Amino acid sequence: MKNGASILVVWLTVFIDLLGFSIIIPILPDLAVTLGGGEIALSVAALYALMNFLFSPFWGTLSDRYGRRPIILVSVLITALSQFLFGFVGSLGLLALQRCLAGIGSANISAANAYIADISTKENRTKNMGLIGAAFGMGFIIGPVIGGYVYEEYGLMGVGITSGLLSIFNFAMAAIFLKESLAEKNTTSKNMLDPISPLLKAMKNRAVRGLFLLNLLFIAAFALMQVTAAILWEDHFLLTKKDIGLVFAFIGFCSAIVQAGLVGILNKKFGEKRLLSIGLTMMMLALIAMPLAPSMEWELVALACIALANGCVSPSILSLLSSEVSPKEQGNIMGLNQSLGSLGRVIGPVLGGILYSFDFHLPYFGGAFIIVLALLFIFDIFRKEIIK
């Protein structure tokens, strides 16, 4: 099997998953207002995250039992269905159904990460995980641009058809080029709709438990920043909606560059465990700097540091988790980790909105405090490796 081609297909799968999510970012608020009220946008977003939370372990465990390839193919078809459906949304109920299907389909990232773990060696695992992380950054950059343009030119149906056709292309690529990566299937898993029992079992491993909690804390802290940043920039730096879109594109671009090009080099120099502590420390300092920046230029420096921190932390967590379990459990572990990340994406926005209502500094200082907790976890688990 040519690993390069397989990595490309999996990269494309994750990229189009996130593209399908981010392509509606410029459209969803106005659509929610048209269908019955702007406050619906938050509940719709929560439905997407909730489905990710519930189905990431399901897809991951299913891929351990039946193989990565069939799970990726089925989930891509579900994503395609959800994206075509978006073009025909005409009621709140249909919009809720569409976001549920989109969340279910995009939860296949657990199977995609397990696939990368299957075909990676110890030496290139973190680099390959970084490439998958870069797909997130690229999708986040390109999606809103495509969504805004297509919507202006062709309306809601144009957006749905465009994103749906991209997923059909993704399915065709995977069906032709993606070979099965799992050498030995796990036939012992029975109740795949029960996420609690596998989580409790996995948490018995001290390192896995710490990495799960670390991932949850890191994503919650990142979401605290993400959900309030646009308000901060509008209130304190007087940015327009267009400017804010460009700033988010800048974050996505920096993150993609770091994860695609620098992660492998940094990992060779420091190793995953030291890279984690470096990334978390940088994230903590950058979050503190965001509300204190005297100008937008300094704000961009802080955001570039956040992108670099994310590029150090996320692939390292995935690589370390992969090394802690057997090949037959990769999907289950990646799914549980993805699920906890989705929970962080629910907790972060809620907490961020509450804190910002008291003082605009608090979401960022609160995020920095959460990162301090994450640092304590990582030092407790890997103290000897980090300080040696």
Mean pLDDT (whole number) for 293-319: 90
Residue 192 lies in a domain: no
Report yes or no on 184 lying in a domain.
no
Give the CATH number for residue 313.
Answer: 1.20.1250.20
**Residue 39 binned pLDDT confidence (cut-offs 50, 70, 90):** low
Containing structural domain, residue 80? 3-177+197-387
Each residue of 147-186: b (16+ CB within 10 Å) or e? bbebbeeeebebbbbbbbebbbebbebbeeebeebbeeeb
Please report whether residue 186 resides in a domain: no
pLDDT digits (tens, 9 = 90+) for 222-241: 888 877 887 888 888 988 76
Q: Is the pLDDT of residue 1 over 50?
A: no
Which pLDDT belongs to residue 161?
92
**Mean pLDDT, residues 183-204:** 65
Q: Where does the pLDDT of residue 369 fall: very low under 50, low under 70, confident under 90, or very high at 90 and above? A: very high
Distance CA 137, CA 18 (A): 9
Q: What b/e sequence results for 5-38 when a residue is b if at least 16 CB atoms lie within 10 Å of its CB, and e otherwise?
A: ebbebbbbbbbbbbbbbbbbbbbbeebbeebeee
* Residue 342 confidence (pLDDT): 78
- The answer to whether position 357 is within a domain reads yes
Overall number of domains in the chain: 1
Residue 185, in any domain of the structure: no
Sign of CA dihedral 24, 25, 29, 30: negative
What pLDDT does 189 receive? 56
Q: Is the pLDDT of residue 350 over 80?
A: no
Task: Tell me: pLDDT of 5 over 90.
Answer: no
Output the CA torsion 73→79→83→88 (10° steps).
100
Q: Does residue 183 sit within a domain?
A: no
Residue 190 lies in a domain: no
370 within some domain: yes
∠ CA 7-67-98, nearest 5°, is 80
Q: Helix, strand or coil for residue 36?
A: coil
Handedness of CA 217, 14, 21, 247 (dihedral sign): positive
